[in-house]
Amino acid sequence: MEKRVLTIQDISCVGRCSLTVALPIISACGIETSVLPSAVLSTHTGGFTGYTFRDLSDDMPAIKNHWVKESIKFDAIYTGYLGSVAQIDYVLDIMKDTLTENGVRIVDPAMADNGKLYAGFDEDYVQAMKRLCASADFILPNITEACMFTGYEYREEYDEAYIKGLIDALGKISSAKIVLTGVSYDKATTGVVVCEDGSLKYYRHKRFEKSYHGTGDVYASAFVGAYMRGHSAYDSAVIAADYTTECMRNTKDDKSKWYGVSFESAIKTLVERV
């Protein structure tokens, strides 16, 4: 039977991130995609100034109640950037009431990168997101986010023992399967570590000199699309990594598009693989 996914995250009207990448990418994978916009911003918060922010938290309970009344259920709920602590509590409630019996909770705790929280977030938000991760079936943190949840020391350079320690620390706060992104042991390569039931697998691929905004959202969306099409967690992580790499390759020469990656140009390569 066709699967239906709900994704809950903001709409950054301009910026190639969050819902404006999740909806097209998961749909292109052939999965029915429902959306719950958590906020509307004129742009994302990473590099623009003076953006607008309309918090849609107050609409979330009524939307959920309507879905419950209509007996609408989802095979998976995938969350990304969420606007506030209150929204995280609403998301927990939506997961409780609208997932099918074996429905999958996939949480990308999009809140920090390069050792720093995104603009507008604080320690209360980190603690709330940690609770959401604790209840998830899959979490897709980067190293910064994983450190913030666990109190593990953040480092720019590290070895396999450090990453193993970080995964073990995450395992103490959540029994979710872990896809740890941005794990790089040398300048030329980066990759993802997938941890399922205690076993770790690493997928290494090309690293670009610059980092690009929104790649976490592109990555998580492609992961969700591939996983919902029936690929294993590890294969989905690999498909998503190759796709994100291709998006970055297609973006790197266009300086005017500094705010996000050209995910549209590579979508055919993703569709062919899922």
Closer to ligand PXL by CB, 22 or 228: give it.
Answer: 22
- The reply to whether 16 sits near ligand PXL by the rule CB under 6 A is no
DSSP output for 141-190: -BHHHHHHHHTPPP-SS--HHHHHHHHHHHHHH--SEEEEB---SBTTEE
Task: Please pick, from the candidates 214, 221, 233, 266, the single residue that binds ligand PXL as defined by CB under 6 A.
Answer: 214
- The reply to whether 222 sits near ligand PXL by the rule CB under 6 A is no
Contact segment (CB under 6 A) with ligand PXL among 43-51, 92-100, 135-143, 186-194 equals 43-51
Instruction: Retrieve residue 46's tokens.
Output: 């990473």
User: Could you tell me the smallest distance in angstroms from the CB atom of residue 45 to ligand PXL?
Assistant: 3
How is the beta sheet containing 177-180 ordered, strand by strand? 53-55, 32-43, 4-14, 74-79, 99-107, 138-139, 177-180, 189-196, 199-206
Strands 99-107, 74-79: pairing is parallel
User: Could you tell me the smallest distance in angstroms from the CB atom of residue 179 to ligand PXL?
Assistant: 16
Rounded CA separation 120/129 (Å): 14
For residue 48, what are the CA distances in angstroms to 33, 74, 217?
28, 34, 18
- The reply to whether 246 sits near ligand PXL by the rule CB under 6 A is no
Per-residue interface string for the shown chain with ligand PXL, residues 108-137, x marking contact by CB under 6 A: --x-------x-------------------
Determine the residue type at 97. Answer: D
Per-residue interface string for the shown chain with ligand PXL, residues 56-85, x marking contact by CB under 6 A: -------------------------x----
Task: Report the interface residues with ligand PXL, using CB under 6 A.
Answer: 10, 12, 17-18, 41, 44-46, 81, 110, 118, 214, 216-217
